[in-house]
Every structure is written in C-alpha cells, then in structure tokens.
Chains A and B, each alone.
Chain A
C-alpha cells in the first residue's frame, strides 16, 4: 500500500496538480486578512481568523514541502494526463445541463432523456441498451421521488396540466 502510494506521487501530472493546489492555497493565504476578521484584545483561539489560518497554513506548508521533495526527485509533465482531466469536464457539462432542465421539464422526463442520451453518447446503440437506460431513469424516479418523496420540485411544464393530474405529477414525478 505504502509503495503504491509513493509510486502514485511519481506519476506524471501529479506535480501539476500539486502546484495548482499550492497556488490556490497561496492565494487563500494572501486573502486571509481581507476575508477573515481579527478582534482586537480577543483571545487567540476565539479569533474568527484562527481556524481558517490553521487550515490555509497547513495547505501551504505541506504543499510546498511536497513540491520541494518532488522537485528533487523527478518533475513530471504529461499533456495527455491534462487532456484526460478535460474529458471529465464534458460530463460536468452533461450533469449541469441535467440540473438546469429538471425544473423546466420535470424530473421524470428529464431523467429518462438524460440516461438515454448519455447511454447513446457512451456508445450504446442497441435498442436493449437504450431501453435499459430509459428503465434505469424511470426506476430512479419511482424509487426516489414517488417512493421516498425526496424534495425535487415539479417541472414548470406541469403547470399546463389540469386539476388532479397536475397535482399528481407534481407530487410523484
């Protein structure tokens, strides 16, 4: 386990990640006085600034120490690895689109559309696979919204429905 962990730090791209993280930490440190309050004559541990300072100093201190150690060992750079990181952003966009559409089209329709289209994007073209994806979406809605009544609001399109059907859709789907 220890050897695996040490080897994972040696992989190309780790240094880029750590360097970005340390830069972020240094930025936070530079904002410490502006973003936290210091109460004159107050006890140190009761200062609103005390715990953010501890967190940020740990980030900066350990991060810089890690960079110093890695720099001496072997600095790695692999543009391919960064490209993989960027590929994950595509699915972030998918996810955020799903989040944006649910309040409009409603949970049921959006979820079935999301699972089916994402399955298509993943290369599943067969009727059986796409049907399984749609069934997955339906099951998730039935379990969580209909069954467990989790708090997901009804879609704006439900307002166009009439009377009991509108209420039924808002409550269950």
Chain B
C-alpha cells in the first residue's frame, strides 16, 4: 500500500497528467491518420522529451504508444485503410460491417475490445511484478547477453518469408552501433578518419530517418489520397455488452497479446495472427470470418492492445526492448539516467508501479475521449496524405536538429530516410536495424563483462537461467531448421 501511495505521488503532478492527456489524445489522433503511426510520432517527439522529467516524458510517449492502435481502428473500420499497420486484420471484419450499415457496432466493439485487451495486459503486468522483482536479480551479465541474443534471433525469425533480409538488416544494425570510439581500448572503429563519426551514429538519428523521414518521403512522392467517412450516430458503449458475449475469444486474445508482447521481437502481428486464427478455428460460425465477424474484430483489437503493456516487461525487468517502440523508449530512460533492468525493480519499484498506473489511466482517458469525439476524428482521416507528409518532414527536423544542433545529424537522418523509403516501398524489414543497434550494444557490453568470470565455455551456462536461455535458443534454432527441412522436402516431393 505504501508502494502504491508512493507511485500515486509520482503521478499526481500537473505536468504528468498533462503529458498523459496530450500523449493519449495525440496518440489516438496520430493513429487515426493513415500513414503516420506511433513509431513516427514517438521518433519525432523523443528528443523533445529529453528536457522533461523521466516520468513526464515517458508518460507522453507511453500515451502515444498505448493509444495509437485505438485510433488506427477508426479508418480500418470506416474506410478500409488501417490507421497503423497492426490494424490491418481489423479491416477484414470492420469494413464488411460498415458496408452492411453496422459501423457504430464495429467501432463500439473495437473500442471495448481494445480497452479490455489493454487493461487485461496491465493487470497481468501488475500481478507479474513480484515475480519479476524476484527473477530480475538472477539476471547477471551472461543472462542478459543470452536474452539479448535470443531477442535478435527471434526478431530475425519473426520475419518469415524475409529471414535472410532480416538477418542482413540485424547485422547492419549491429555494425552501425560499433561505429566510433570504443571505450575498452579507446580505438576508432569505421570512422574512416572522419572526426564527426567518432561519436558514433546516434540511435535517434537512425530511428528518425528510418521511420519518420522515410514516411514523409513515401507520402510526398505518392499521389494524394483523400478519404471520406460518414458520421456515426448513437452511443458507442454497447460494445462492452457484446464483448461479454464473446468473453472466451476476448480472454484468449488478451492472453496471446500478453505472451507475444513479452517475447522480444514477436509483438502485435504474431499476437493478432494467433488470436484471429484461434477465434476462427473455435468459432461456431467460422464462415463469417472475413465477412464482418464480431469475433474476428474482437480477436484482432484485443490482441493488439494487450501487447504494449506486456512489451514493457522485458524492457523494465531486463533492459531489453522487444521491438522498435520500446527501443526508442529505452533511450529516454538512458538520457535520464534511469537504467531499466534488475536494479530498477530493486531500487525504484515505485517508479515502475507509477508506469503501470500511467498505462491504466491513459486507457481510461482514451476510452472517454473516443466515446465523445469519434466524429471529430473523422475530419482527421480526410486530411490529404501529401499534406501529412509535409507535416511529418517539418516535424522530423525538430527531432533531429534539437538533439545536438548538428547539420551532419540531419544529413545522416535524411540518408537513412532514403534507405527507409526504399525499404518501405518493398516492405523490407526495418525493425531489425533498430533492434540490431540496441541489442548489439547490450550484447557487446554484457559479453565482455561476463567473460571475466568465464574460464571454459561450459561456465557460461552453469547458472539455471543462463542454461534455460541457452536451451531456448537451441530449441528455437533447431525448430526453425526442422521447419526449413520439412518445407524443402515437401517442395522436392511435390516437384516430382
């Protein structure tokens, strides 16, 4: 109780409340604009939050992270265009419902499912806290190295169909992180004699280039898209009643969201896919899926929104981000000298609980906002896409230039913008670059420190958690190799 009181004290400040409000409302609006998304918004706002208190900056970014998918459901349902990439499955069910005159029902279901998924995930996070506080100190350097290695492997393997490219991009990220002065032998790496490279390549410059500037280029180069959605009449609370009818699907989807969110590199897409498949397979009307099934909509939105809170688990407990957005948040922690990892749970548990509470509050704020302002948000959908591209490019300048007032940073970010633009045109994997950078740095540091106490290779896995992680890595790699072998064999047999 004392801990809860202390956490509430951290949050009970006007600037924290304002940040939560701005973040959550802003996140919904950004999510509702097709082609922007939380990653772009967080990348742009990240440097602006550096001057704020850690909890204020994090509240604003958490607000965007946790609320963008609510907003993303609106265009997915009304104009068949997902606001954020992870709302893609929502279009399968939401659009047919709108076409048969059930737009209000679809939106109401999406809001209630999203709210349920988010709250379910936060409750799991709170219940898991004592376990995390108990387990986290068992993670030493070698365990964190192995967890980061597992994260890189999972990120690469999660890109089924593009695994080789994802591996190449993860390698690129690892290499990018090594540029500049290394602090063990104080030698320069890949600076080519250029002093401006001695400080290395800043993660935020890469993030802004690959996510924000590239998206601005995409929007500016492509023809304008203008959408129109009919206003919604009637209340939007009825979805909660209908959600209770499909409580089995909601519970399973929330669980998938939490489990997939906790595993680094997996995230919303896998959670959504598993939930949707489960809902379809266990439904009494599987033929309705793809034609406006409420179960499909619930599965998609519940799983999506259960991921953000769960993704905070590896970040807070181990300091290992599972995807690009949490990787960006990691830099906010570092800037304020708040180091996520085992020590955070031991020394600043009230800060951790405050983050959980902030997540809870922001979901309530978002729901209230959506219930009263959905029709206003329809105006946002109508903004021409090239105009949005212009806004994103202008805002990207704030993000990059305010870091160090460096034109070189801006040039680098613009270069990464071109790279991201080309990769987005081909739907090539961008996230492995970011995670390669972040996890590569963690792996380098932790491997060095852990090797001081390691005499033989077996010493590396002689502790229970290290052994367990090593075993998981072997199982993941072996099962993937087995899958490849089966695919190869069946392709050869069908070719005969």
CB-based contact A35/B189 at 8 Å:
yes
Contact (A51, B174) CB under 8 Å given A18-B165, A150-B47? yes
Q: Give the distance in Å from the alpha carbon of A37 to the alpha carbon of B395 in the complex.
A: 39
B289 to chain A, nearest CB (A): 16
Q: Which residues of A contact B391 (CB under 8 A)?
A: 115, 136, 140
A48–B405 contact, CB under 8 A?
A: no
CA distance A51 to B175 in the complex (A): 7
Q: In the complex the two chains form, what is the Cα distance from A96 to B48 in whole Å?
A: 21
Q: With A and B bound together, what is the CA distance between A132 and B48 in angstroms?
A: 24
Across the interface, do B164 and A3 meet the contact criterion of CB distance under 8 Å? no
Q: Is the CB of A8 within 8 A of B428?
A: yes
Interface string of A96-135 (1 = CB under 8 A from B): 1011101000000001001100110011100001001100
Q: Which residue of the partner chain, among A9, A66, A91, A144, contacts B393 with CB atoms under 8 Å?
A: A91
- Distance in Å from the Cβ of A170 to the closest Cβ of chain B? 14
Shortest beta-carbon distance from B304 to chain A in Å: 14
Partner-contacting stretch, out of B106-114, B227-235, B330-338, B411-419:
B411-419
Inter-subunit contact A150/B398 (CB<8 Å): yes
Inter-chain CA distance A124–B410, complex, in Å, is 27
B402 beta carbon closer than 8 Å to chain A = yes
Q: How far is the CA of A61 from the CA of B175 in the complex (A)?
A: 14
CB distance from B113 to the nearest CB of A (A): 21
Contact with B along A1-32 (1 / 0, CB 8 A): 11111101101011001100100010010010
Q: Is the C-beta of A59 less than 8 angstroms from some C-beta in chain B?
A: yes
A12 to B213 CA separation, bound complex (whole angstroms): 24
B448 at the interface (CB under 8 A from A): yes
A28 to chain B, nearest CB (A): 7
Query: Which among B122-130, B180-188, B345-353 touches the partner chain?
Result: B180-188
CA distance A52 to B401 in the complex (A): 28
A112, chain B: closest CB distance, angstroms: 10
A63 within 8 A of B: yes
CB under 8 Å from chain B, chain A span 30-83: 31, 35-37, 39, 43, 45-46, 48-52, 54-59, 61-63, 65-66, 69, 81
| Contact of B171 with A84 in the complex, beta carbons under 8 Å | no
Within 8 A of A (CB), among B169-205: 170-178, 182, 184-185, 187-192
Question: Would you list 21 pairs from A and B whose C-beta atoms are within 8 A, ordered by A residue?
Answer: A1-B269, A3-B161, A5-B160, A8-B428, A9-B161, A17-B428, A35-B192, A36-B189, A46-B184, A51-B174, A51-B177, A58-B167, A59-B172, A62-B167, A63-B164, A88-B421, A96-B407, A118-B390, A133-B387, A150-B402, A151-B405
